[in-house]
Amino acid sequence: MKIADTSDLWWKNAVVYCVDVDKYLDDDGDGTGDLAGLSRRLPYLADLGVTCLWLMPFYSTPGRDNGYDVSDYYGVDERVGTHGDVVELIRTAEDRGIRVIVDLVMNHTSDRHPWFLDARSSRDSRYRDFYVWRDEIPEDPRETQFPGEEDGVWEWDERTEQYYLHSFYSHQPDLNAENPDVQRELAKVMGFWLQLGVSGFRVDAVPSFVSSPERREPQRDHDVLRALRRFAQRRSSDAMLVGEVNVPHDEQAAYFGEDGDGELHMQFDFPSNQALYLALARHDPEPLRASLRSRPEISTISQWANFVRNHDELTLDQLTDDERAEVFAAFAPEESMQVFGRGIRRRLPPMLGGDPRWVRMVYSLMFSLPGTPVLLYGEEIGLGENLDIPERDAVRVPMQWQADGGFSTAPASQHPLPAPDGPYAPAHVNVEDQVMDPDALFPFIRDLARTYRQSPEIGWGDLEILDVTAPSVLAHGARTDQNRFVALHSFAAEPVQFTLSVGDEPAGTELLCLASGERWQPGADGRVEMELDGYGTRRMRVCRPGDGRLR
């Protein structure tokens, strides 16, 4: 692949960091994190290597679903700040070389949104068709996203005596994506935030938005997504849409659009994320290797977003029942650690028993896979979860800045959620200790971000799966016309020796380890003998004679 010469594709090699504003840093001491507090931490994020800040919903909300129950797309939740705080955050982030993207919740609103309040006031309301109503529940309704929490996706409205559709919670009625008025309103919302300076949107629950109310499967007609992308890029040529599209790889291809020029710029790779945990449970990279091979070929102007954890449950819905049971047994053996029958409500370090080798291997892998890495706040210090908190909120604990927490000067009882306890309490896991400790997780993640940014072939290149004689080692790379990157990750707890084949390269080519500076020279057959410690990693640049690339 030849790297395109365009700055509009800034997201191709960005380092994305997801923040839940009200849980990051409280600036005014009222117990809730805020935009001013986040602005104070921009130097920290710049030092970490973040180049794109993703803000989870900070809009006006009743607060029943972590902000995803939006009551005003143009408003700012008064607990976290004002529009002036948003603009100041964006401006200050730009000074640090950090772009800002925000969540776009297109699938539904809160039932307290003025549109819905008007829509349920009368069947003749001008906003009635902003939502989906039926006299009777369809014979084959789609399944709820929250089994065990909701009985179905149709809710009876006493006042107008019809059912309304809600793919998620009953207090989140689905918008009618087929209504041109809805499409125009969503475009206006995008235009508003683009005008304030955001660089794009993380689009929530995309398959639900483009699916028919009567059927489980998505529509083949994605005109709404195409129209929204065209609108965004008319307003800002470098605007980016990254979609939450949790479907198999062969279905994800449709959401990029033909030749990547039409719908989403970037999609989270949910299939490979789920395969990763199956591979970790088996200590065998084959499930992940197979998933990576199944990635559909994408355009140069499209991208995969790689992630280890997100702010929701670790969903395993694309695994078979037996595979899911394997992952549960390994990482969530207690029922209290599971949610919705399909997911895990834990963060990575506790799942891996706190083994620093294993944790680092996983993050090294994320920063090595072709695509764009996405971190959830706190991952850089090994933040844990609090299983005493219900459902998905277990992983949405406040950021831990100091041994006493450092999130807020207000009493802990006023914080949005309680901190983890035990080995993941703030006294043991916090930023202040780790930034001063060269052996901590924070400097390790910072180095991964640095070498990722220095290796554009990872973000721009084509995936290679390389031959290696040890079944427990995943050998892969990324290649452009100019550069080549090779990575090794051992899924075994014990040391392993093996032979790696890098294929045809000119005589005198060397493999340079980006962490240690060690060098290996493949033989004439392209093979080289290596070894790795338990859960060992190696990230290498292919240095050909005369190419001038030393580090």
Structure confidence at residue 145 as a pLDDT band (50, 70, 90): confident
Percent of the chain with pLDDT over 70: 96
Known catalytic residue: 244? yes
Q: In the predicted model, is pLDDT for residue 198 greater than 80?
A: yes
pLDDT at 7: 66
Structure confidence at residue 120 as a pLDDT band (50, 70, 90): very high
Where do the structural domains in the chain lie, given as residue ranges? 9-106+197-205+239-453, 107-196+206-238, 461-543
First vs last C-alpha separation in the chain: 21
Task: Select from 2.60.40.2130, 3.20.20.150, 3.20.20.80, 3.30.70.1450 the CATH code of 9-106+197-205+239-453.
Answer: 3.20.20.80
Length of the chain: 551
pLDDT at 551: 45
Angle at 315 between CA 310 and CA 317, to 5 degrees: 155
Residue 272 host element (H or E): helix 270-282
pLDDT tens-place string over residues 17-59:
999 999 999 999 999 999 999 999 999 999 999 999 999 999 9
Strand pairing report for 527-532 and 99-104: unpaired
What dihedral do alpha carbons 260, 262, 267, 269 form, nearest 10°?
Answer: -50
pLDDT at 440: 98
pLDDT at 224: 87
Q: In the predicted model, is pLDDT for residue 5 greater than 60?
A: no
Per-residue DSSP letter, 47: H
Q: In the predicted model, is pLDDT for residue 260 greater than 70?
A: no
| Alpha helices by DSSP H, 13-170 | 35-40, 42-48, 83-95, 114-119
Report CA-CA distances (Å) from 295 to 250, 259, 374, 479.
8, 15, 18, 16
Known catalytic residue: 94? no
Q: In the predicted model, is pLDDT for residue 498 greater than 80?
A: yes
Distance CA 441, CA 428 (A): 13
Joined tokens for residue 158: 């006493």
Among 85, 244, 380, 457, the active-site one is 244
Strand pairing report for 519-520 and 510-513: antiparallel
Q: In the predicted model, is pLDDT for residue 502 greater than 80?
A: yes
Q: In the predicted model, is pLDDT for residue 273 greater than 50?
A: yes
Q: Can you give 398-464 as a three-state secondary structure string?
A: CCCCECCECCCCCCHHHCCCCCCCHHHCCCCCCHHHHHCCCCCHHHHHHHHHHHHHCCHHHHHCEEE
Chain centre distance of CA 411: 31
Distance CA 39, CA 35 (A): 6
pLDDT at 183: 94
Structure confidence at residue 248 as a pLDDT band (50, 70, 90): very high
Chain centre distance of CA 179: 29
Residue 543 host element (H or E): strand 537-543
Distance CA 299, CA 494 (A): 39
Q: Give me the phi and psi of 139, to 5 degrees please.
A: -65, -30
Decide: helix, strand or coil at residue 498.
strand
Q: In the predicted model, is pLDDT for residue 218 greater than 90?
A: no
Give the pLDDT mean for 171-186: 95
What pTM was estimated for this model as a whole?
A: 0.96
Q: In the predicted model, is pLDDT for residue 362 greater than 60?
A: yes
Distance CA 280, CA 495 (A): 16
pLDDT tens-place string over residues 370-420:
999 999 999 999 999 999 999 999 999 999 999 999 999 999 999 999 999
Report CA-CA distances (Å) from 109 to 60, 113, 138, 310, 452.
11, 6, 22, 22, 37
Among 204, 263, 313, 505, the active-site one is 204
Joined tokens for residue 111: 């039932």
- Give the Cβ contact number of residue 426 at 10 Å: 24
Q: What is the DSSP string of 281-335?
A: HHT--HHHHHHHHHSPP--TT-EEEEES--SS-EE-TTS-HHHHHHHHHHH--SG
Residue 268 host element (H or E): strand 266-268
CATH superfamily of 107-196+206-238: Oligo-1,6-glucosidase; Domain 2 (3.90.400.10)
Distance CA 382, CA 330 (A): 19
Evaluate whether 9-106+197-205+239-453 and 461-543 have a shared fold: no
Q: Give me the phi and psi of 98, to 5 degrees please.
A: -115, 125
CB 282 within 8 A of CB 293: no
Evaluate whether the domain defined by 461-543 bears CATH number 2.60.40.1180: yes
Distance CA 360, CA 372 (A): 18
Distance CA 301, CA 526 (A): 32
Structure confidence at residue 546 as a pLDDT band (50, 70, 90): confident
Angle at 67 between CA 62 and CA 73, to 5 degrees: 85
Give the pLDDT mean for 455-465: 96
Q: In the predicted model, is pLDDT for residue 219 greater than 80?
A: no
Q: In the predicted model, is pLDDT for residue 435 greater than 80?
A: yes
What dihedral do alpha carbons 358, 363, 366, 369 form, nearest 10°?
Answer: -70
Strand pairing report for 314-315 and 343-344: antiparallel
Distance CA 172, CA 113 (A): 10
